[in-house]
Chains A and B, each alone.
Chain A
């Protein structure tokens, strides 16, 4: 098909988890015959196992579709599938910039959720045409009129004539495609200007090097062209360029303004290609880079250790490999007295952390012990120096601390109004500062709180879900640092500090937290030959104490008919069990104990 900018539509889909984004994408792919039926598998755009299982999109992806509209013209659709989670807020914003429009999917029974709202505002801020679609009309609980009203009232865009569809059943999908043609504007780039393209995603391919996904704003990119990445200043020669078919890349040799596609240029390090950066012609550069580029910095840190110390090398290799595709993952070697050799890893947020841990365990078959997540604390020392602490072990002695600060977030929580009391109680318990509350309709409210990031990195989301029967949704953005009364809490087993269990906590919460941790440890450390005292202390002063009683009996097998194999098996089992234990002084601590202290909310 010949190039005609007016027949291009670049759009993304905004939806809350489970509202049907990937299913709609699948239906669109089918209807445009982009994917042969035989290649069709559910959630085609979500390549990673974790994405398919959790129904979330971690990496952005894009696909080009050809659509013959009812007006008789052929259109090129570029569907950019964006991550929906707050951890990847920056990536989301860059994907949005690559589009002229966004399909907003709203569940016909559940209505708008916090994340949808956040991403919709982001789309509107970036001047995207937002096109609502009401999905899951096949559900008995569907109430499309109410949901359309909600969209109009809350977001302020017309929605009464929004397509009402069932992506699952394939109902009214063609209406969505027609509306993409009529409602979403075409790109308005200048093909004659110097090349200006936005990087909205990139990944590493072991044969081609880094493959960058771009939206060309102005100009053209061609094979053999010398390109420059403006933020990093790196220059490369284009080896391949083209567009993304549903299952493979099509090397078209050129990308024009308004088009979405990929570039390979023998790029070895993913660190050279940053999402949000501008690609231009090295010899004939554009005047200025696209606005909005920034470095993404990890917000949450945690120690990751192999359960089996011998697999330290494997863990390093695995992290190296993940980093090839995920420049936002940072890690450096760390040593713990309790856990041995491991890595201090930095993540964009909680989901990012969970995903990395899960991928390490699944894709690399590693058994991990992770320490409690920590944020970066800002500590002003008495000598005038300021230090940033991402590992509780390195927290300075109280004597040299003048003041301390911790990062805050602005949290937005959407929930049925029945649970407001529970939510407020939770947020107060987490040192939240109430900002405002507004009713979206008679039954749903939006609450705003300022919360210390440190209070939500543990188990806030789980706690919120359990207090609202799973109905509340939650979103946050960074606010900056605020002075805080922080203390370092140490955990001692049999009198010895276990470094991997130390953490920073607000002084007012220290006692409650200390008690919970001591109880959790007591429940998770098996009885041993000797009594094990568990103590939680601040600066040497014990504030909570529990005791694991001494073991009274282990399993005695009857040695019957001269069969001593049962005894040997018991002994082997005992040894096997010992292997899964960490020997801390005289105390054996199972891995689970380290994990259990991460989940303190019941």
Chain B
């Protein structure tokens, strides 16, 4: 049996952040029923897994016991990467120790920023002191693969506050950084807050902040391997790599997505339905793995790039992009430069389609 990835969407949050439009509910009384449903589904699908990813929502709202129950129900390869997203404010030393014993071997902290002003504007529940403490505690209890999410170009961010966050990153026992640009999603409180919107850095500053982050993270030993992801050598997120490489993964839980046997599917954003169904309902989205989709995903992997033998047209189309420093040609592939990453949609459209 081949091993695939497993994504578990944990749709619980204490409170929703201002910028977030992912699916979550605040009724935490349903976590037991939810856990039971996840276990039913994992058993029913019957796959083996070499990566597991608890995403959310806030997975750290599940108890170590619940995490453990889910992991022991799954057929998991011995060297599997088992990641879990955590909110810096919802984890104690004890909690981290126990989830580690339950099998989790990689933590991803939703830090977003080490600047309290920015955290407040984002509507996060933690402050920078808690974030630093959570990461140090994780290291202390034995985690040696720890990631932190950072957000770029958020309301109130300046080059100075960004640099401060980045230098804090460099001092902490982190192995991986995801650095995302804030995207204002329709319908979120942020989208309706003129004041906060006005404090978002403009296009040029945003671009420069991104480039600054790429540079500073590189200097600190976090090499960029994907548009938004940076890792110390050997610590690339194996689960997320599956997404970019068009490899298979099962999604379990409301709002989870999966890609199996060439088909992409989604689970409805409905916790009650998920809990009450024997097996989760899925909606097939479309055929995955088209040349265009593959190219879109491959280009994101800046160390792997778009293989020119599979996309022979791309070289000619990309000529002018190479000249202007948005792309580079290496080892028979086209790869985005950091400047190119910033305009990747435009570039993908020009290279294919």
CB–CB B255/A556 < 8 A: no
Q: Is B159 an interface residue (CB 8 A)?
A: no
Q: Is B190 an interface residue (CB 8 A)?
A: no
CB–CB B228/A558 < 8 A: yes
CB–CB B293/A568 < 8 A: yes
Cα separation A61 to B279 with both chains bound (whole Å): 70
Partner of A556, one of B180, B266, B296, B321: B180
CB–CB A562/B258 < 8 A: yes
Cα separation A182 to B31 with both chains bound (whole Å): 90
Cα separation A568 to B55 with both chains bound (whole Å): 21
Interface residues on A, range: 20 to 34
Task: Report B107-121 residues with CB < 8 Å from chain A CB.
Answer: none
Cα separation A528 to B349 with both chains bound (whole Å): 12
CB–CB A553/B293 < 8 A: no
CB–CB B7/A561 < 8 A: yes
CB–CB A571/B296 < 8 A: yes
- Closest chain-B Cβ to A402's Cβ sits at a distance in Å of 45
Cα separation A571 to B257 with both chains bound (whole Å): 19
Cα separation A528 to B343 with both chains bound (whole Å): 10
Partner of B344, one of A556, A561, A565, A575: A556
Chain A positions within 8 Å of B183 at CB level: 555-558
Q: Is A442 an interface residue (CB 8 A)?
A: no
Interface residue total, chain B, C-beta cutoff 8 A:
50
Chain B positions within 8 Å of A555 at CB level: 183, 345
Cα separation A527 to B292 with both chains bound (whole Å): 24
CB–CB A529/B181 < 8 A: no
Per-residue CB proximity of B7-25 to A under 8 Å, as 1/0?
1010000000000001000
- Closest chain-A Cβ to B300's Cβ sits at a distance in Å of 8
Q: Is B86 an interface residue (CB 8 A)?
A: no
A563-B297 contact given A553-B207, A553-B210, CB 8 Å threshold = no
- Closest chain-A Cβ to B329's Cβ sits at a distance in Å of 17
Q: Is B219 an interface residue (CB 8 A)?
A: no
**Residue of A558, A562, A578 ringed by the most chain B CB atoms within 10 A:** A562
Chain B, residue nearest A556 (CB): B181
A561-B346 contact given A553-B207, A556-B228, CB 8 Å threshold = no
Partner of B257, one of A553, A557, A563, A586: A563
- Closest chain-B Cβ to A549's Cβ sits at a distance in Å of 8
Q: Is A38 an interface residue (CB 8 A)?
A: no
Q: Is B256 an interface residue (CB 8 A)?
A: yes
Cα separation A586 to B317 with both chains bound (whole Å): 12
Cα separation A557 to B255 with both chains bound (whole Å): 17
Q: Is B302 an interface residue (CB 8 A)?
A: no
- Closest chain-A Cβ to B308's Cβ sits at a distance in Å of 20
Q: Is A564 an interface residue (CB 8 A)?
A: yes
Partner of A561, one of B181, B256, B350: B256
Q: Is A365 an interface residue (CB 8 A)?
A: no
Chain B positions within 8 Å of A559 at CB level: 240, 243, 300
Cα separation A551 to B300 with both chains bound (whole Å): 19
**Residue of B342, B345, B348, B353 ringed by the most chain A CB atoms within 10 A:** B345
Cα separation A270 to B162 with both chains bound (whole Å): 72
CB–CB A561/B345 < 8 A: no
Chain B, residue nearest A562 (CB): B257
Q: Is A560 an interface residue (CB 8 A)?
A: yes
Task: Report A141-159 residues with CB < 8 Å from chain B CB.
Answer: none
CB–CB A571/B348 < 8 A: yes
Task: Report A569-587 residues with CB < 8 Å from chain B CB.
Answer: 570-571, 574-575, 578, 586
- Closest chain-B Cβ to A477's Cβ sits at a distance in Å of 51
CB–CB B228/A564 < 8 A: no
Chain A, residue nearest B249 (CB): A562
Chain B, residue nearest A554 (CB): B345
Task: Report B327-353 residues with CB < 8 Å from chain A CB.
Answer: 341-350, 353
Chain A positions within 8 Å of B292 at CB level: 571
Chain B, residue nearest A550 (CB): B324
Apart from A529-B343, A561-B22, A564-B257: 18 A-B pairs, beta carbons within 8 A: A529-B326, A529-B346, A529-B347, A530-B324, A551-B346, A552-B208, A553-B203, A553-B343, A555-B345, A556-B181, A556-B228, A556-B345, A557-B183, A562-B7, A562-B243, A562-B259, A564-B297, A574-B345
The contact sample of 5 A-B pairs, CB cut-off 8 A, is: A554-B345, A556-B181, A561-B22, A562-B258, A565-B257
**Chain B: residues with CB nearer than 8 A to chain A?**
5, 7, 9, 22, 53, 55, 180-181, 183, 203-204, 206-208, 210, 227-228, 240, 242-243, 249, 251, 255-259, 264, 266, 285, 292-293, 296-297, 300, 320-321, 324, 326, 341-350, 353
